[in-house]
Amino acid sequence: MKHLIALLIIPSILMSQSTFEKAEKLFKEEKFQSAKSLFASYLKEHPEDQKTREYLGDIAGYVKDWDTAIALYSVLVEENGNSANFHFKHGGALGMKALEISRIRALSYIGDIKEAFLNAARLDPEHIEVRWALVELYMQLPGIIGGSESTSLKYAKELQNISPVDGYLAKGYIAEYAERPEDAERFYKKAIEIGGSPHTYEKLTTHYEKNKRPKEAIETASKSLELHKRNSLNYQIGKIAAQYNLDGALGINCLKEYIENYSVRDGVPKDWAYYRMAQIYKNQGEKEAALSWIEKALEDRPDFKQAIEEKEIILSL
């Protein structure tokens, strides 16, 4: 009899495990709707499973269903108040919800957001993401409700103790937000010197773009492309060349490379690359080539507003 019961129970357990594993695999592949269905099914059989509820909260966050994410993370925090991860995710969902509502209503969220992030930081002295969240929170809040550059800098220093690169990037962010561009440039260069990751180059490139220094932006992006071979950098170089009418030959070559090697992981659709090609040829006074590329952009996306406007400019040449 015992053997019979075991034979009946074991397949059920294996099926449940298989359901969770399939859901987890779909989640990692970013097939969130399919993963959600399987996780929900698994949860019916295992209503107390925290990992499944965390995944469902994460999926709600990905689709910007902040109320559902907040509700799920809130219960997880109640059940496991010593989890820095649950506090961090709860605070993040509250913060994103606050961004979508009126400023008056958002004020009522500030205390809970701070509490969640501070708890996560206290529970995990090595938690990089929550310290980044605190750096940004204290810089963006008005002083009247607790914003403070010195407090933001405190968490940037904590970041630097954990990860020197993140520390310099955080200090660069603070300087940039406080409108001290020379300090920001110095910190971003230090992050490149220490880490040299694509992200560090991207921060410095973007900083140069914001401060109307396209020559330095192209030089930095080109150096990153040489080192890291990321196709997305080809678009970035082409975009800067188009926007600032700078080094058109380089911009055209990079955009052609981008189009030829394009994949969805590159982020920017090909129609934008066609649009930038049209801009460069327009800048060079080559009307027919510009029209050819802008037509390609509109073939891909007929309602492409910027391309429609650009076509009118090209036709008027």
pLDDT in tens, 42-90: 999 999 999 999 999 999 999 999 999 999 999 999 999 999 999 999 9
Buried b / exposed e across 111-141, counting CB within 10 Å, b at 16+?
A: ebbbebbebbbebbeebebbbbbbbbbbbeb
pLDDT tens digits, one per residue of 175-223: 999 999 999 999 999 999 999 999 999 999 999 999 999 999 999 999 9
The answer regarding whether domain 27-124 maps to CATH 1.10.10.10 reads no
Per-residue DSSP letters for 91-126? HHHHHHHHHHS-HHHHHHHHHHHHHHHHHHHHH-TT
pLDDT tens digits, one per residue of 217-260: 999 999 999 999 999 999 999 999 999 999 999 999 999 999 99
Q: What is the mean pLDDT of the chain?
A: 92
Q: 110 with 146: CB under 8 angstroms?
A: yes
Confidence band (pLDDT; 50, 70, 90) for 155?
A: very high
The model carries a pTM of: 0.84
Domain ranges of the chain: 27-124
pLDDT tens digits, one per residue of 13-51: 444 458 889 999 999 988 999 999 999 999 999 999 999
Give the C-alpha separation, 100 to 117, whole Å.
19
